Amino acid sequence: MPKKKKVNKAWLHDHMNDPYVKMAVNLGYRARAAFKLKEMLESDRLIKPGMKVVDLGSSPGSWSQVLREALLTKNGLINGRIIALDLLPMEPIVGVEFIQGDFRDDVVLQQLRERLNAEQLDLVVSDMAPNLSGVSSADDARIEHVCELAIDFAVSHLKPEGVLIMKIFHGSCYSGIVHRLKQTFKTVAPRKPAASRDRSRETFLLAKGLK
């Protein structure tokens, strides 16, 4: 059997037996990634009623689902705003405003500005990740680029006391991105949620308060 098929079979076995995958299905989340954001929001107490939040790289929508739950009132209404952005389409989520497109494009940014009505954001979350090739030097450059985009977006749209949660992967670009965040935000801390697999290079950076 070709090596790729063996790897795919092993991944599928692990995926189907993953407790977070099973919980995501049972709770109606679109991906197991929901539990990563859920843990960070709860442990660091990062969200409260009335907040305005943007979810970068939102598709398929599990992070937007978690944000919606966090802002949902007892009468079923959302106390706050959630705007999701992605190049890919996303199935609608009640109460979440979705903009499909590249947030670097002026047209997309104009749509966002119109919806926000010049108001700044309390929280920006980014689960964005590039397509990885397996070539370390190329992949690290792509990861760095995506992280820089998230930081630039946050700097342009966050309130002074706002918060950025951003996915990153350990590699040659990691220390540089942390340095950039520390130059830009008052506090920066890594987070590795329980739902993030131990063998994964993935981690998250939590940055608070623009300098």
Enzyme catalytic residues = 167
Strand order in the sheet with 97-100: 97-100, 81-86, 52-56, 121-126, 158-169, 202-210, 185-191
Quote the CA–CA distance of 180 and 82 in Å, as a whole number.
27
Q: Is 98 helix (H, G, I), strand (E, B) or coil?
A: strand
Quote the CA–CA distance of 186 and 164 in Å, as a whole number.
12
Percentages of the chain per state (helix, strand, coil), in multiples of 5: 40, 25, 35
3-class secondary structure per residue, 103-170:
CCCHHHHHHHHHHHCCCCEEEEEECCCCCCCCCHHHHHHHHHHHHHHHHHHHHHHEEEEEEEEEEEEC
Report the candidate in 179, 181, 177 with the shortest Cα–Cα distance to residue 164.
181
Q: Is 151 in contact with 176 (CB distance < 8 Å)?
A: no
